[in-house]
Structure 1
């Protein structure tokens, strides 16, 4: 995968197996998982498995989550990107979803919005998707604000995985 996007402050590049330490640092933090089912990762092997899964998505679907690298310091701050979802979620399947996750110390600085906006534009201008979807925990006001700010519209509430109350957004 040789795609790379840039924003004012970020480089968005494919995730690499060498990102395992940063991914584990992010996903082992319980605060990062408050709205993700409260199940932080316990081992680096779990992070490595996640990275391998993402790399497989690059091969199968030509897209996936990308590392967010802060230009100023070349620091890994999280991931953002598009994912082609084949399984059913909220009565939809085979759709493009936008998502993001950041290390806690980078919350509230506009990075998730900046990256999500770049991916939103990529989805419509380069991939020519008809509709872009996203979901967030019903109580995750920060994430919901980002989704609305990039141009997605609230559609409905639903329960993800039979346990997590979520909201569903779509581009139209």
Structure 2
């Protein structure tokens, strides 16, 4: 039976990373990440421009209870985020009554190119399939974001179709949608 997502009371750990809920001490790191226009362009999240906006964003993350802070173990710095949403796209009859999560991720530019998101997304996939008992996971990327496309393919997600996204920054952006079925992973069926 599927379990509820509870970021506030969840800590996931790998060799180099910790995924956990956002804490007030993370405010400066959050500000550094979300003031970067490149992050906004690739993710569709609005760029923030003040500490007040950073505080509001952090409060929103904490209240939503579905956005993980991505912590670099080496220095304890928050370097990104991963969120789990209810999927908004239809994946056909086979998934009509299935339980799934849509994963999204953001990483500070200083950490790009180090396979950090492969490691973080691997943690998230295991968490979704083993702990939350998801039947599937999905994700997408804007057409002009080849880094995310490579990550998604490395993680074993399968292309489903082209879509139009409506980012928080407004307008429409062409993109691609992917899916990963729990059956493709080798997990014991724990209920």
TM-score, L = length of structure 2: 0.77
Deviation at 1:91?
4.3
Contact 1:159 1:165 in 2 (8 A): yes
The answer to whether structure 1 residue 164 and structure 2 residue 164 are counterparts is no
Q: Is the 8 A contact 1:99 1:116 kept in 2?
A: no
Partners of 1:2 and 1:141 in 2: how far apart? 33
- Does 2:149 correspond to 1:144? yes
- Number of residue pairs aligned between Structure 1 and Structure 2: 164
Residue 155 of structure 1 is aligned with which of 156, 160, 169? 160
Aligned equivalent of 1:78: 80
Structure 2 unaligned blocks of 5 or more: 1-7, 182-191
Give CA-to-partner distance per residue, 1:58-96, whole Å, 9 cap, x none.
2xxxxx221111112212211124x2337xx34479841
Cα separation, 2, equivalents of 1:147 and 1:28: 25
In 1, the alpha carbon distance for the partners of 2:43 and 2:158 equals 21
Measure, in 2, the Cα distance between the counterparts of 1:78 and 1:140. Answer: 17
Alignment of 1:109 with 2:118, yes or no, is no
Give the 3-state SS of the residue equivalent to 1:171 in structure 2: strand
CA positional deviation for 1:121: 0.9
Q: Is the contact between residue 71 and residue 77 of structure 2 (CA under 8 Å) also seen in structure 1?
A: yes
TM-score (norm 1): 0.85
Secondary structure of 1:69's aligned partner: strand
Larger-gyration structure (1/2): 2
CA offset at residue 57 of structure 1? 2.1
Q: Any stretches of 5+ residues in structure 1 without a counterpart?
A: 59-63
Contact 2:29 2:77 in 1 (8 A): no
